[in-house]
């Protein structure tokens, strides 16, 4: 069962140069999407399952996007702390690195990694107070396991007025939508303190506060739809529009997209208006608009929507649109292995 929200906590943030594991979702699980914060937080369950295929070719061009810190770990069992020293953030384009994660890792390195994992059987990890089984790293690396990861490039993205959030934001929005809808005076709605913290940029572990609209134009975040599918959102705060980066469009009919997105589209303008009188006059009067970005690479074999969604965030935020269209299964396999090895190196190291 996912941990309950603690209203006294602030969202957390990984260091700029570190790899981040975000969420692990079980398909058809009885538990909803985990309300996770930015460092490694919570493992629900990994499972693989084939889903419908998609044969339509993706060739058209894409709209490009416009335009940290400590790792806190605790707990009783095999507590892991980052092995890396947190350097002063560098403001530099990470496009070259992101593209390198699409390439296969050389066999000796992978073999060394797998040997180390084999020696960890029976171990349990506690990262940031949450227990992880011995198979934690291997499940990330295996294709078609429902897991998701994200690499942060905070300083560079902040220089472009971009922020990255975790799935807790959309989870809270979805859970509070009914009470929000029943409130006749939305301007007086009592907002969850975590939502306010996100919008003000008051995030635990970040050296600076990047307030939305004042310091941020674009917000990226993963979102779980129906406890069975992951997408990524690119929220343009200036235009009042949300681009949906969906790695498996056949999984969700359009009517369900409207149902899943309505909480974000309708609540976000009111949240920002409650915090600032200086909001764009061009915002749509009925709430933020949204659409699925066409012609993205698709997860037609199933099970990879999590890592693909988060890789979409990396690619879209760096305007690497060609790779968004043409990710292959082999590249997705490489992405997963890179994520697993980066996390292993972050917490256990290869030495």
Question: In the predicted model, what is the mean pLDDT of residues 221-247?
Answer: 96
The residues spanned by each domain of the chain are: 19-347
CATH of domain 19-347: 3.30.310.130
Position with higher pLDDT, 131 vs 146: 131
pLDDT at 46 over 70: no
Position with higher pLDDT, 232 vs 24: 232
Question: In the predicted model, what is the mean pLDDT of residues 54-73?
Answer: 35
Question: In the predicted model, what is the mean pLDDT of residues 84-90?
Answer: 47
Predicted local distance difference test score (pLDDT) of residue 87: 47
Secondary structure in 3-state letters for 156-195: HHHHCCEEECCCHHHHHHHHHHHHHHCCCCHHHCCCCHHH
Take residue 70 and report the two structure tokens written for it: 């400590």
Question: In the predicted model, what is the mean pLDDT of residues 295-300?
Answer: 91
DSSP at 43: B
Q: Which of 5-19, 191-205, 234-248, 273-287 has the lowest mean pLDDT?
A: 5-19
Question: In the predicted model, what is the mean pLDDT of residues 306-315?
Answer: 89
82 φ, ψ (degrees, to nearest 5): -60, 135
6-27 pLDDT, tens digit per residue, is 333 344 333 333 333 333 333 3
271: confidence class by pLDDT, cuts 50, 70, 90: very high
Take residue 20 and report the two structure tokens written for it: 């981040």
Take residue 113 and report the two structure tokens written for it: 């990694």
Predicted local distance difference test score (pLDDT) of residue 198: 93
- Percentage of residues in the chain having pLDDT higher than 70: 58
> If we measure between CA atoms, which residue out of 270, 272, 263 comes closest to residue 285?
270
Take residue 85 and report the two structure tokens written for it: 């020293």
160-218 pLDDT, tens digit per residue, is 899 988 899 999 999 999 999 999 888 889 999 999 999 999 876 565 688 999 999 99
pLDDT at 227 over 70: yes
pLDDT at 2 over 50: no
Task: Give the SS3 label for residue 204.
Answer: strand
pLDDT at 261 over 80: yes
Position with higher pLDDT, 137 vs 83: 137
Take residue 339 and report the two structure tokens written for it: 């994520």
Question: In the predicted model, what is the mean pLDDT of residues 120-135?
Answer: 64
Question: In the predicted model, what is the mean pLDDT of residues 276-296?
Answer: 94
125: confidence class by pLDDT, cuts 50, 70, 90: low
């Amino acid at each position: 069962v996912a941990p309950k929200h603690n209203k006294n906590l602030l969202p957390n943030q990984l260091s700029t140069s570190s790899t981040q594991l975000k969420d692990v979702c079980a398909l058809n699980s009885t538990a909803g999407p985990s309300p996770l914060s930015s460092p490694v937080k919570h493992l629900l369950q990994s499972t693989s399952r084939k889903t419908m295929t998609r044969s339509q070719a993706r060739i058209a061009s894409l709209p490009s996007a416009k335009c940290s810190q400590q790792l806190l770990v605790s707990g009783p069992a095999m507590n892991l702390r980052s092995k890396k020293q947190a350097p002063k953030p560098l403001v530099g384009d990470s496009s070259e690195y992101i593209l390198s994660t699409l390439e296969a890792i050389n066999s000796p390195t992978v073999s060394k990694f797998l040997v180390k994992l084999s020696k960890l059987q029976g171990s349990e990890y506690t990262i940031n107070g949450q227990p992880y089984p011995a198979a934690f790293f291997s499940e990330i690396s295996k294709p078609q396991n429902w897991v998701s990861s994200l690499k942060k490039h905070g300083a560079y993205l902040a220089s472009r007025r971009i922020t990255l959030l975790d799935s807790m934001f959309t989870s809270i929005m979805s859970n509070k939508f009914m009470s929000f809808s029943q409130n006749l005076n939305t301007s007086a709605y009592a907002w969850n303190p975590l939502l306010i913290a996100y919008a003000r940029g008051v995030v635990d572990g970040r050296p600076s506060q990047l307030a939305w609209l004042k310091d941020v134009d674009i917000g990226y975040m993963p979102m779980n739809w129906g406890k069975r599918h992951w997408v990524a959102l690119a929220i343009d705060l200036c235009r009042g529009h949300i681009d949906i980066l969906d790695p498996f469009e056949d999984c969700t009919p359009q009517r369900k997209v409207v149902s899943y997105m309505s909480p974000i589209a309708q609540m976000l303008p009111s949240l920002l208006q409650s915090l600032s009188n200086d909001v764009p006059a061009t915002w749509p009067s009925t709430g933020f608009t949204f659409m699925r970005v066409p012609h993205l690479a698709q997860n037609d074999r199933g099970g990879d929507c999590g890592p693909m969604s988060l890789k979409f965030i990396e690619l879209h935020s760096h305007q690497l649109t060609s790779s968004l269209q043409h990710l292959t299964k082999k590249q997705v396999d490489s992405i997963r292995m890179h994520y697993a090895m980066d996390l292993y190196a972050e917490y256990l190291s290869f030495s």
